[in-house]
A and B are shown apart, each in its own frame.
Chain A
Amino acid sequence: MTTLGRALLIARKDLRLEFRTRDIVTSAGLFALLVVVTASFAFPTWGRGREGVAAGVLWMAFLFAGLLGIGRSFAIEKEDACMDGLLLSPAGSEAIFLGKLLATLAFTFVIELVTLPIFVVLLQLSPDGGTLVLILTALLGTLGLAAVGSLFAAMAVNTKTREVILPLLVLPVAVPLLIASVEATTAALGGHDLSSAQPWLLVMAAYDAVFLLVGMTTFRFVTEA
């Protein structure tokens, strides 16, 4: 079985677990919704040129909801030494990393797909032609976040203050990703099509590729006993 095949098995395990408990999608999803709604009161999300503010609000919500979900996904593996079991299995650390990443990508992307239309309606935005760019941005941005987040969450669950340390590690490293996703989202919310957001989508794709590779090669160092 290929690495990808083993990764899909692990992702399927996580998705089955999530389908039965609905822990992560409900808690992180509600969190994303709450951030979006409270931020709409906190920031000037009305008037002309509000797409930039809206994009920032949206990504703050996605970022923290994503971190919440990724942290939870690794906390589960810590309980009853599940991670040790995974590491003892013939899956290999690359496959474990990819599997956890794909599962968290799926959870977070589902949350985003639910939050996006509510957000667009609440803020009276009309992405129209930018809808495809919006979804593509969410996917690429979340992939990068899941790559860095999965690597660091495996570290964070083994520290004294699990919950606090994860955003502390991820946020500085995620700066390029945040810049690119906010810029692409601003263009998309303004109704622009692929051409205007293209450089930012490329930045995100490059970031994703780099940190997928770094995560796959270094994951074994953060999980070894």
Chain B
Amino acid sequence: MDTKLSHPPIPGAAPTMTRAALLERPASRRVLGALTVFAMLVLAWAAFLFAPEDAAQGPPQRIFYIHVPSAWIGFLGFGVVFVASLLFLVRRDLRYDAVARASAEIGLLFTTGVLITGPLWARPIWGVFWSWDPRLTSFLVLWLIYLSYLAMRQYVPDPMRRARFSAVLGIVGFIDVPVVYLSVRWWRALHPDQVVFVSGGPRMPGEMLAALMIGLAAFSLFYLYLMAVRLHVSRLRDLSEEDA
């Protein structure tokens, strides 16, 4: 029996698929997975062996190569939530809601990564785990918005209503993040920070920049792979609910 599905297609697959085809892992996703693993291995090499040791910070600086890419995915994830939310409100297609949800879950994961790797670096470099620095604080608030977005979804059983509510929250949250950043920056500007920032120097050597770029690419692939898996899982869940 052909089953019409209300979720985005798996990359490379037709939007309407047979049940049997849906249970299989598409080849395109396996390629994406392999590419992600390869890119991560290259990143490990670039971060630990290729990039030179920072003169001022020493080894802790290397966390930068996973910290910044995690932050990038945190922003990208919320950007995708925002766009998918807008598209849902215009088109009323639950596939956009599934994309927004998947992106929020992955975004939360990587934002959590930012909030763990940041303090780990800050302890040896700044001398404290946490500082109410604008970027740190904005990420904490972004993380909280992600959490409240995903928590709210738990409390609305009707799928269309849940999608509408989530879309509005996704849009409000996205607009709020730059406002948070600006207000925290003013807040800190008026209260000078006591922490002594040990800067690694204004310029970044080419090797460091290359390692960072590899990190951004590897994490972007990882994001795409996780999206594909997550969307596949949500379609399988829909299928099992239809059977039940």
A-to-B contact residues, CB < 8 Å: 148, 151-152, 155, 158-161, 165, 168-169, 171-173, 175-176, 179-180, 183, 199-200, 203, 206-207, 210-211, 214, 218, 221-222, 224
Contact = CB atoms under 8 A, between A and B. Distances in A.
Contacts of B145: 172-173
B152 A165 contact: yes
Contacts of A203: 182-183, 186
A176 B182 CA distance: 8
Given A183-B190, A199-B186, A221-B164, A175 B156 contact: no
A96 to B, nearest CB: 15
A160 B141 contact: no
Given A158-B156, A168-B152, A179 B172 contact: no
B168 A218 contact: yes
Contact of A168 (B151, B165, B183): B151
Contacts of B168: 151, 155, 218, 221-222
B229 interface: no
Contacts, number: 82
Chain B facing A: main interface SS? helix
Nearest to B165: A155
B169 interface: yes
A159 B171 contact: no
Nearest to B142: A172
Interface residues of B, number: 30
A176 B148 CA distance: 17
Closest 7 CB pairs of A and B: A176-B183, A172-B144, A159-B155, A160-B155, A172-B145, A155-B165, A218-B168
A179 B152 CA distance: 24
Nearest to A211: B172
B173 interface: yes
Contacts of B141: 172, 175
A176 B164 contact: no
Nearest to B183: A176
B161 A158 contact: yes
Nearest to B162: A159
14 contacts: A151-B168, A159-B152, A159-B165, A160-B157, A172-B144, A176-B176, A176-B179, A179-B183, A179-B187, A183-B187, A210-B175, A214-B175, A218-B168, A221-B89
Contacts of B176: 172-173, 175-176
Contacts of A159: 152, 155-156, 165
A218 B187 contact: no
Interface string B137-167: 0000100110110011001110001001101
